[in-house]
Amino acid sequence: TKTYLTGIQTSGMPHLGNYVGAIKPALEAAESNDTLYFLADYHALNSVKDPEKLRHDVRSVAATWLACGLDPERTLLYRQSAIPEVFELATILSSVTAKGLMNRAHAYKAARDRNAEAGVEDLDAGVNMGLFNYPVLMAADILVMAADVVPVGRDQRQHIEYTADIAGSFNHIYGSSYAFPIPRGAYPEGEGSMLPGIDGRKMSKSYDNHIPLFLPAGRLKKLVRRIPTDSTPVEAPKDPDSSAVFQLLSHFADEERTAAARKRLEQGGMGWGELKNELFEVLDATFGPMRERYDALMEPGSELDGILADGAARARERARATLARVRSAIGIA
């Protein structure tokens, strides 16, 4: 068996993209592997500056994992912040990480590009060190648990490659005493595996185009209606593959239903409005039952807090064991 690990930032209720890119594949892997899934609350701190919101979002992401079927007997579910070894390892890894590597990180470069486009003279304006160090902390999350496989969406590919690079630098220097296993990413299959949001761009909280997993049916319906479509008349043939609505449908409907919708769109006779109704029905049928469990877990005093405490205690043992070896390898102990 392999050790699988993945994390989700605690910056709001997880959305359909998080489900397809991480939650679903991670829960499938949990059936036959060692699994550690965590809440990246210190990663979220870069963007969430409201303490009440952060507290709420930590519970929300935990409740989502459980509502989607995570079995806490089988999978360790914990908060990143409950494992101090992560932060010690991040400091150690900083000393073997080239700054140039961080300069080339996508999220950091995107922030600089935005400044350039807006004509801001200081390209680093608004960039905090948390954003700059983000990939090092992520490498620590993964390496502290000596994970082999990291199920994530394709947008995380660079982060996984950086983790492998950083582990390689450490191993190159200290490998005769301790070497990290080099982790690999496991990405959903297919070109369209990054889910589009309601504006057609990649679904992302930072674009505010996301569909949260457990909306009440009325609000879910409204969001689905907002997905832009062109004005091709109902009877005219349409290209399913250029439609965000169809892409979303194909991720959640079974093959038969997806194929039937494709055919009717291509032949003409199915309007975008009808396709949106199908998408709403499929989403509501998939997530409606989980939504009830989610709501119960979000109640104060639910079993959620105990599950997180237990997961943290067990995950921490593993982190402590890694740190003991690392400290000894580097000459700190």
Residues that bind ligand TYM (CB under 6 A): 5-9, 17-18, 20-22, 40, 43, 138, 141-142, 150, 152-153, 155-156, 159, 194-195, 202-204
Closest separation in Å from C-beta 99 to ligand TYM: 20
Q: Least distance from C-beta 243 to ligand TYM, angstroms?
A: 16
Instruction: Give the C-alpha distances (Å, rounded to integers) separating 189 from 155, 160, 192, 240, 266.
Output: 13, 17, 8, 19, 24
Task: Give the residue at shortest CB distance from ligand TYM.
Answer: 21
CB closer to ligand TYM, 7 vs 212: 7
Q: Between residues 6 and 258, which has the closer beta carbon with respect to ligand TYM? A: 6
Distance CA 286, CA 23 (A): 14
Residue placing its CB nearer to ligand TYM in the complex, 190 or 273: 190
Q: Which is nearer to ligand TYM, 160 or 270 (CB)?
A: 160
At 71, list the tokens. 């079995």
The answer to whether residues 38 and 223 touch, using CB atoms and an 8 Å cutoff, is: no
Identify which of residues 154 and 225 has a Cβ nearer to ligand TYM in the complex: 154
CA distance 209 to 214: 15
Q: Which residues contact 74 (CB under 8 A, 6 or more apart)?
A: 30, 35
Residues 6 or more apart whose Cβ sits within 8 Å of residue 57: 10, 11, 12, 13, 44, 48
Q: In terms of CB distance, is 184 or 293 closer to ligand TYM?
A: 184
Residue whose C-alpha is closest to residue 158's, from 179, 124, 187, 117: 187
Q: Which two tokens stand for residue 304?
A: 């959620």
Residue 263 CB, shortest distance to ligand TYM, in Å, is: 26
Question: Which tokens belong to 76?
Answer: 């360790």
**Best CA proximity match to 140, nearest among 57, 185, 83, 101:** 83
Q: How far is the CB of 198 from ligand TYM (least distance, A)?
A: 11
- Minimum CB separation from ligand TYM for residue 40, in Å? 4
Torsions phi, psi of 90, nearest 5?
-60, -40
| Residue 8: CB minimum distance to ligand TYM, A | 4
| Shortest Å distance, C-beta 160 to ligand TYM | 8
**Contact 221/280 with Cβ under 8 angstroms?**
yes
Q: How far apart are the first and last CA of the chain?
A: 31
Please, which residue, 18 or 250, has the CB nearer to ligand TYM?
18
